[in-house]
Each structure stands twice: as structure tokens, then as C-alpha cells.
Chains A and B, each alone.
Chain A
């Protein structure tokens, strides 16, 4: 308010630049890292490498889709990793009834966990970060009670789901692509999707406009839980093991990073699915590149931290000017 006294013009230009970087910086980032790898990383352009990268990014991307919706409402979901663990343990427990039943139970578990989050946030009025933190801790605890240690999974159908391909594209990637399409459709075309963005933009206005605010919030968290459960199923299928102890650990942070780097503000009111995809790809390539060039994992963590700070810094200017 007070600072804007001098140099009005350059500030406007800087603001425009910042806004542009916030919205499109993630694509530039992806392009830069791809170019770097083409030049410096042997075999980067191989089909096999693309498959590996795509398969690895899929679970994070699926979780990030749900996270993007939650963040668009102005909330956050820290429990996605725990929900993946719950879903993995459900697979191990119910595989005896066949893979279809096991997968369905896993998805229902994800929906139930999401419903708990949604009820706490939308109806009990607890802050999202606290409500989902509780489930982040409790959910993994429950998963470990159900399946205390790594349990191998021997099932042909699940193995195929994790490692098989259709038209040379892994099933995992197909599933991620379909889910992207579903989420994009929800956001663009449905009352639910329009409503969730409005709730994040101005909750009071949404309420006064008669939108079912609480029901929408509940549904958003349920959806996020289901998507996390899908990621849990896919990861379990690929590992051919249910490992509630380590599956999805820290994935909430990767997912939030992908969403924020992709240009969805943490304050809500906006959602960018394409940006989220690019954000997930960027983080995946960043890690892969550092590993390929023999930098220790501690370095990749610091590089991730730097990207997060950069993205949040850009998002920071949004509510000012």
C-alpha cells in the first residue's frame, strides 16, 4: 500500500513478468531440464528411458491431481501418503478374495479416509492442515497394524497391472492419463468443479450464492483419498509387495510441490491441471537427472527444496500489487 509510491512503471513490468513466470515457468523448467539431458545425459532420448520416467512419475501425478483439487479449495491434504499405505495393506489383506475385490476394498478405504478428512474440514471446521495431519499419522499407524511388515504379493493380474503395457504404453501410464482426463472434465465442465474453485476464491460468496459448500468440500477430500488409494494400488502392483512402512512416504510433499510449481496458488481459487502435470514431470526429471549424474540423494532433496522456495516465492506476489 505504502511502498507503491515510487517507480510505478517498472513495478508493473516486474509484476507482469512474475505472473508470467508463475503461470508458465514450470514449462520452461521442463524444457530446460530436457534440453540439458539431451546434451549431457547418455541414452536420455531412448524409448526405454521415457517409459521408466513415465512409470515413475505416474503415482506422484495421480496423487497430485487430488491435491490440486484440495488446494484449489484453499485446503491441503497431508494424509495422501498414509492413504497409499492403507490401500497397500488392504490389497495384502483382501487379495485372497481375488484382485478385483482387493482393489475395490483399497479404493473404498481411500474414500473412507478422504471422508474423514472432509468431515473434519467441512463440517467440524477443523483446519485442513491439522485434520489431515492427524490422518497422516493415524492412517499409517492403522496400515502397520493391519500389515506389520513387508508382505510379498504373488498375483498375475496385479503383476500385469504394475508392469504390463498396452500399445507399448504401460498400464500405469494409461491409468494416469485417464485420471487426468477425468479430473480435467470435472474441473472444466461440472458444477462441482466450478464450485470448488469458487469456494477457494471466496467461500463466503459461494455460500451466499447457494452453492453446497460443505458437500463440495467433503467430495473433494473423498476424491483426493480415492486418487491416493489408486496410487497405492499401482505402487503395490509394481513392487509386487505390500509395504505400508515405506509406500508413499513424503509423497504429500512431492504432490504439493508439483501443484504449487505448476501455478496453483496455495490460497486457492484457481486450479491448473496441465501445470500440475508439468510440475510432477519437472520434479521427477530433476531427481532422475541428479541421480544419473551421480549426485547423492541428499543433493536431490536440496534441489527440490530450492524449486519449492522458488515456486512459493513467485506465488507470493499474487495477493499484492
Chain B
């Protein structure tokens, strides 16, 4: 259906694959192919279906519909090992090697050179040295793997994967934990792979990398392929708009969120001030201020440091440097308790792992963070807990059988409201909302958005992180855009448009919104689009 076929038949392809999970259609008739000797970028935001597709291609999952083709013939891998043996190598973000075994053992695990039924160590070490020098890794291969740097480990993983006659190499965020120098080596290796006619699938959120080394790109969104084509022909802005699901042309009209728009700024003294937040690899000097009654949006792609910024402010991320102060008073200790005491509440993105206490009741979950202030001398005042729980269950319209119902039995939207209630019960001055409407139903989404408005109107400072551009544009008074852990742009007032946001995220100079929309920026071009 898509994509030019220039270099002969695909080495690996998915034909109309569909994969369901309970309640979710993770992949919907997806076509994808890798040609020999190409580096094919696979991009998409959270939940787009990238990992599901990779797992299908590598035999971890089997498709519910459609099928795979490998070397020109339909295949069905019984498991990841079969796919590996057939020549599909995968390198994950987190290197899955054995840290205590030697480098050489790791490299040859499962296919050690043997003599008289025993491992021929001399040969294994010699071959390991030779193999690794091709990847720029010069180490004593007899030492345990864990003594190597992350980058070197990644190279060992790569050498191991490619060494076994791979025809396809799938790399999932390979550079996320690498130093710049190591990234260069990786790119050189990818160049060699390309020359050897190996197909490479490259998953990354770093646009610069994609444009540097990828030949083609496939964009996934909500389980569907929305674009396939040559990397160089796809403008950055366009790529962003495809990933985020916002068309460049049709961003002008009124949205469908329930935000009211501008918020009155009561005073100009910032309620929250964060300066030079820095954490190795993740944040590089992020500063921001929020005034009372102001909703500040935090935009950027996945992995740009939005969540980390919120965590840093909330005392949940160890920092190398940086200061946070609330109403001019610095938060001295870097701990969640200190941040909470200062009046900072953080609604986490990962509701299940960082939010709810699943086996506990709605009541316990709401009261959790406020327990110290709902008690005296360590004794919980049930009367005060009841009151708080009643107030917030009513105000947020939490649908539950009663306060004693287990929170794990509620819908996602109601769980989210319970967590919001948990933070509101603290009567915070600043609320950090990380993807507050992700994964919840439309009704709950509208309620949450309206609530954010109300809270701002009451004088709360709000930091709103969202991948939903519309939500940012309509919910925030001001938007900071992050990239690679640093602020790369700020839009405020009338500048906050989806177009301008996408331009900043793409790294293009900000131009007036109308100007560029006029020069075409075609939303649907030829046969590229798959709707």
C-alpha cells in the first residue's frame, strides 16, 4: 500500500498485522517493511504501537490478523529464539546481557567455539577480540562485562546480535544511555551494517539522529501507519505533526477541549521558581517559573525531559544541581516530603506504578499523602479523613460504590480523579500534572480539564505536561518546549498555537502562525497518507 520499492524485495515485512490486547487495539492492519541495506526509522509517541510491532517482528507476540514475511516467504515465528536463529537481531534499550560473565562469554553465549565438547577459550578470546575491535571496543575480553561502560556494553550486545548471521537488526532507543562519542561509534557500525546489506530498524525519539542516519521512516500513531516514505523528504515539522496527530493545516479552529482559555494572573510574584535543574543524561539546566493562577504547559517529544522536570521539582529525582523555591522560600531538602510540605503536588504519568495503591480503598488512596495533616500525634482522625474524602469525591464526581471500594476496581478516569483528590487534599500551591488526561475516557478528560481551569482560577499554579497539543494550547497560558533535557523555546499568549508549538519542537524558527500555513504545508500529500 505504501512506500516505494526501490532496492529489491524486503528482507522483513509485516502485512496488515493486527494485534489486540484486552480493551485496546494495539496494532490495526499495519504494513511495514525493511529493505536490505536500509536504515528504517520507526517513530511514534507513547502508545502508538512501536513496541508491539517490534515484539511481533521478533517473535515475542504473534499477530491476531495479517502475517509476517521474511526473505520473501511468509513466516510464523514460534518464539523470540526462533526469530533470532532465523537472523533477526534485536538490541533493546536495556542491554540484556549477563553482567557477571566475561565479555567473550557474553559475545558467544550459546554458540561458543568448542573443542572435544569443551569451550575452546583460546579461540573464543581471540575471536572476541577481533570481533569487538570492529566495533571500536578494545578491552580485555576476559574481564566481566559489568566493568564496561554502558556504551561498550551496547556494542557487545550489537556485536553479539550481528555476529550470528543477522539479516535484520532492530534497535530500540539504542542511544538513550550513550555518551556522544559512543553514539558516533554506533553510527559507524550502522554504516557498516548498511554496506553489508543488513536491514536496520531504528527506533528513536531524537530527530537529529533520525535525519542523520535513516533512509526511510514509518510513523505510527494509535496503532496505525500514518506515513511511510523517504526520511529526507519528510520535513521535520511534518514529522512532528504526524507523530502528534495534528495536521499542520487544520490547527486554526476552536478545539474540543473544555479549557476556557486565558487565566487571570492574580499577581506577578512566582509561586514556583525552579532554576538550573540538572541531572546527568536527563536534564541540562531547566529553569521555569509559575505565577499563582497560571497554567504553564510543558511540551516536547517523549524523552525530552518533561517528566524528569516535574519529578525534579517534586523532589523525586536526584539532581546534580538546581534550586526550587515556593513563594520565594527555597525547598532545602531534596525529598518528596519536603516538596509536599512546601506545597508542591505531583500527579504522576504512570498511574498504575506510581499512583494508586491498588489493593487499598478509594478512601485510603485519597487520604494517603494528606495523612500527616489529617492526624494529630500520629493518630489519624477518621472524622477529618471522612470529611476530606466526601468533599473530593463529590467535587470531582468520583464514581465508586462508596469510599470503601478498592481503587483497582475503578475505571481509569476515576482512578485519575482519586489521585487528583489525593493531591488536592493537601491544599497545594503548585500542582504538577504529568499527562493528566492520558488513557482516560472522554467524559473524565473533559472534567479533568475543567478542574484544571477551576484550580487555576482559585490561584493555584499549575504545570501541565501533555503530549496532546490541543490540550497544551487551550489549557496553558504559556508553554515551554523541552528537547533533550533543556528548554528550547517558550511561547506565551497569542503565540501559543499548535503550529508554533510543532515548529519549536521540530527545531525550526518560530514564524507567525498564518504565514507558513499559507505556503501550503500540505496536510495530505499524494499517496503518502494512510488514514
Contact = CB atoms under 8 A, between A and B. Distances in A.
Interface of A: 1, 4, 189-192, 194-195, 197-198, 201-202, 204-212, 269-270
A208 B346 contact: yes
B16 interface: no
Nearest to A207: B336
Nearest to A201: B357
B324 to A, nearest CB: 15
A204 B353 contact: yes
Contacts of A192: 378
B93 interface: no
A1 B21 CA distance: 8
B380 A201 contact: no
Given A192-B378, A269-B359, A205 B371 contact: no
B354 interface: yes
A269 B357 contact: yes
Contacts of B314: 208
A86 B354 CA distance: 40
A210 B357 CA distance: 14
A211 B378 contact: no
B336 A194 contact: no
B358 A210 contact: no
B337 A212 contact: yes
A189 B335 CA distance: 26
> Binding site of A, secondary structure by majority: helix, strand, loop or mixed?
helix
A189 B380 contact: yes
A204 B349 CA distance: 13
Contact of A202 (B340, B358, B382): B358
A201 B358 CA distance: 7
Interface residues of B, number: 32
Complex A-B, nearest 9 residue pairs according to Cβ-Cβ distance, in ascending order: A201-B357, A209-B369, A210-B340, A210-B337, A269-B359, A202-B357, A209-B368, A210-B336, A191-B371
Interface in B347-380: 348, 353-360, 364, 367-369, 371-372, 375, 378-380
Given A189-B379, A192-B378, A212-B337, A206 B22 contact: no
B167 interface: no
B425 to A, nearest CB: 11
Nearest to A267: B359
A198 B357 contact: yes
Given A1-B21, A269-B358, 7 more contacts: A190-B375, A194-B364, A198-B368, A204-B353, A208-B354, A210-B337, A211-B369
B316 interface: yes
Contacts of B353: 202, 204-205
12 contacts: A189-B379, A190-B380, A197-B360, A201-B357, A202-B353, A205-B353, A205-B356, A206-B368, A207-B316, A209-B368, A210-B369, A269-B359
Contacts of B359: 201, 269-270
B336 A208 contact: yes
A197 B422 CA distance: 17
A81 B11 CA distance: 63
B391 interface: no
A205 B340 CA distance: 13
B188 to A, nearest CB: 39
A192 B369 CA distance: 13
B25 interface: no
B341 interface: yes
A192 B371 CA distance: 10
A270 B375 CA distance: 21
A281 B314 CA distance: 47
A201 B360 contact: yes
Contacts of B316: 207-208
Contacts of A189: 379-380, 382
A190 B378 contact: yes
Nearest to B22: A1
Contacts of A202: 353-358
Nearest to B336: A210
A210 B21 CA distance: 34
Contacts of A208: 314, 316, 336, 346, 348, 354
A194 B382 CA distance: 12
A204 B368 CA distance: 12
Nearest to A4: B22
A191 B355 contact: no
Nearest to B337: A210
A318 to B, nearest CB: 8
A178 to B, nearest CB: 19
A209 B336 contact: yes
Contact of A194 (B335, B340, B380, B422): B380
A188 B361 CA distance: 13
